[in-house]
Amino acid sequence: MLAFALITLLWGAFIALRQRDLKRVLAYSSLNHVAYCMFGIFALGAAVSPEGMNAPAIAVQGVILQMFAHGIGISGLFYAVGKLEAVAGSRDIHEFGGLGSVMPRYVFVFGLLVFSSLGLPFLAGFAAEILIFTGAFALAPWHTGLALLGLLATAVFLLNILQRLFTGPVNPDRSGMADISFREVLYISPLLVLTVWIGVFPDAWLAFSAPFVESFTILISQ
């Protein structure tokens, strides 16, 4: 099962890299990120926890936090892509470029959510992924070492999105696009606040799942 999760993790990232439609990219991004969760769960059956470290609890906490963090991030990204489609009439990633100088507020919103999915420190995605991989490495080090290639593949396709959308020369057909309004930024700001809050203070959120995780790890150890 660990091998299947590892394949899914890598496959989702590389398929996402081949997509032109932004919503398809996000769909395969979800496949990739959910595979992190499955990897953390299946690692529980790989070995016993090393002495002095409750690796199963760390992995499970990471899985729970990853589901929450990814739910926040992908919701915001689908909203952002929907706004881009409403303004431009297209979701084709190859039809854009240079939007960083045209839509600065949009770049801030989209970039923050992408960097969270990428696992940038002090954002929600990092807090979740570091727990998953810390716990999984203690349980299944060889599989986890290979899974780190998935992190690299995830970084490649997410940075590819940012590059194609926001850097380089401005597409003349998109130079007159209107930026998102401050009101629209306000609509999505709860997701942005949660993304930073979870990344900076993950303990506040892990406390909610701690009782379940404690009971669960005692159960699987018996």
Reading the chain (222 residues) residue by residue, the pLDDT tens digits are 888 999 998 898 889 888 999 999 999 999 989 999 999 998 887 655 555 568 888 999 999 999 999 999 999 999 999 999 998 888 999 889 889 889 999 999 999 999 999 999 999 999 999 999 999 988 888 888 888 888 888 899 899 999 999 988 888 888 888 899 999 999 999 999 999 999 999 999 999 999 999 888 878 766
Rounded Cα–Cα distance for residues 9 and 5 (Å): 6
Burial group, residue 165, by CB count within 10 angstroms (0-12, 13-18, 19+)? buried
Torsion angles phi and psi, residue 149, rounded to 5: -65, -30
Residue 46: predicted pLDDT: 67
Residue 45: predicted pLDDT: 73
pTM: 0.89
Helix/strand/coil for 123: coil
Shortest CA distance to 70 belongs to which of 165, 214, 194?
194
| Interhelix angle 22-42/2-17, nearest 10 degrees | 160
Helix/strand/coil for 176: coil
Range of 87's domain?
Answer: 2-221
Residue 49: predicted pLDDT: 54
- For tokens 């007159």, the residue is 176
Burial group, residue 173, by CB count within 10 angstroms (0-12, 13-18, 19+)? exposed
Residue 177: predicted pLDDT: 87
Contacts from 79-85 at CB under 8 Å and sequence distance 24+? 79/187, 79/188, 80/106, 80/109, 80/110, 80/113, 80/188, 81/22, 81/23, 81/26, 83/180, 83/184, 84/22, 85/22
Contact 132, 63 (CB under 8 A): yes
Residues with Cβ within 8 Å of 75's Cβ and at least 6 positions away in sequence, in order, are 191
Total domains in the chain come to: 1
- For tokens 């700001």, the residue is 189
Contact 171, 96 (CB under 8 A): yes
Helical ranges in the chain per DSSP H: 2-17, 22-42, 55-88, 104-118, 124-139, 141-166, 182-200, 202-221
